[in-house]
Amino acid sequence: MFRNLSTVGLPLSGRPSELIELALSFGFDAMDIDLLDFQQQAEAFGVPHARRLMVSARLKSGTFHLPVELASDDAVFKEQLAALPKRLELAEATEATRAVATVAPASDEHSFKDFFELYRSRLNDVGDLLAKHGIMLGLNFRPEAEAREGKANQFVHTFEGLLGLVAVAHERVGAIADAWALHVTGEPLDLIARVPKGRLVEVRLSDAPRDAAAADMTHAHRLMPGETGVIPMGTVLTHAKAAGFEGPVTPWADRSTLVGRGREKIVRLAGDRLEAAWKEAGLPIAPRWFTPVQRDQFGRPIGEEAVIPAGAE
């Protein structure tokens, strides 16, 4: 397992060089890739230029959002599927091997049975393309009742339901184990250990308030991992290890819960919490070594400096 920073999971903004420095300074091994932004950079300046910061920092590529809306109408899906091969080539160029997507929790247009078949069929089409580039797709679900409110037909909104979809999907399709989502649905964390080997794509860590009923939680109740201890981080990682998981572990929190904390403090705290989770699960922590990014007066990376331990500055 390795520690992954997502600027979506922890809503962060800034220049890529700044975010990479924060990731390195506070113990992260990987960062998620914005594939569409990478495509723009690669088309304008070439792939080597687009990759330069991640390569020089020796950061792994975490996950990237699949640029396909699986629940869209046929015309949109076909258009996005046609554009996918080129984008997957770029993902492979970044050494990204894990895509992620969220399953719609309900529908007005489709019954459960029809929606299930639609997803199965489209995941098969996507999976064939992913296989050509050695990429796995991890599916996530939305557990909050608010996400299904007002919809005619409910769909996948539990981890067990998600695993049911994964079981009939393409072999390149797996699951994301989101500890907060399992807490909201009231499902046991040991379900994570039952994910077939190789089908667990990402683990997401968050925490929850002590004074809120799980079934009534909204996304605004998603706290930084380790905030209250309601969701035991170490237990989550122990079950992931039992499933043979070796991928990215990513902290997630709602933007509203981070108000008043600066960007550096957020990343530092997330790094500290992940280190604590590693220790709770008895996982080894390899020290990070990296080359700091030196910038000119305009914030552009220049030169190289000697390799020093992470956090030493």
pLDDT in tens, 107-142: 999 999 999 999 999 999 999 999 999 999 999 999
pLDDT tens, 45-74?
Answer: 888 888 888 887 888 999 999 999 999 999
- Cα radius of gyration rounded to whole Å, the chain: 19
The position carrying tokens 């995941």 is 123
More confident: 208 or 299: 208
Q: From the CB of residue 285, how many other CB atoms can be counted at a distance below 10 Å?
A: 11
Task: Give SS3 for 223.
Answer: strand
Cβ atoms of residues 141 and 161 within 8 Å: yes
CA dihedral over 238, 243, 246, 251, signed as positive or negative: negative
Tokens of 19: 């975010």
For residue 38, name the pLDDT band (cuts at 50, 70, 90): confident
Cα distances (angstroms) measured from residue 80 to each of 67, 94, 141, 200, 278: 7, 20, 21, 25, 38
| Host H or E run for residue 60 | strand 60-65
More confident: 58 or 5: 5
Instruction: Name the pairing type of β-strands 2-5 and 30-33.
Output: parallel
Tokens of 63: 């996950």
Tokens of 146: 């608010």
pLDDT tens, 230-271?
Answer: 999 999 999 999 999 999 999 999 999 999 888 999 999 999
* CA–CA gap between residue 213 and residue 226 (Å, rounded): 18
The position carrying tokens 């040991």 is 190
Average pLDDT over residues 284-310: 48
For residue 306, name the pLDDT band (cuts at 50, 70, 90): very low
pLDDT tens, 199-224?
Answer: 999 999 999 999 999 989 999 999 99
Give residue 287's pLDDT: 64
Give residue 300's pLDDT: 47
Tell me the domains of the chain and their CATH numbers.
Answer: 2-309 (3.20.20.150)
Q: What type of residue sits at position 263?
A: R
Strand (E) positions, 244-284? 248-251
Least Cα distance to 53 among 269, 239, 295 occurs for 295
Q: From the CB of residue 305, how many other CB atoms can be counted at a distance below 10 Å?
A: 9
Burial category of 137 from C-beta neighbours within 10 Å (exposed 0-12, middle 13-18, buried 19 and up): buried
* CA–CA gap between residue 313 and residue 306 (Å, rounded): 12
Residue 313: is its pLDDT beyond 50?
Answer: no
The position carrying tokens 């305009």 is 298
For residue 16, name the pLDDT band (cuts at 50, 70, 90): confident
Q: From the CB of residue 299, how many other CB atoms can be counted at a distance below 10 Å?
A: 10
Give residue 301's pLDDT: 47
Give residue 155's pLDDT: 97
Give residue 39's pLDDT: 87
Tokens of 302: 């220049």
* CA–CA gap between residue 307 and residue 124 (Å, rounded): 45
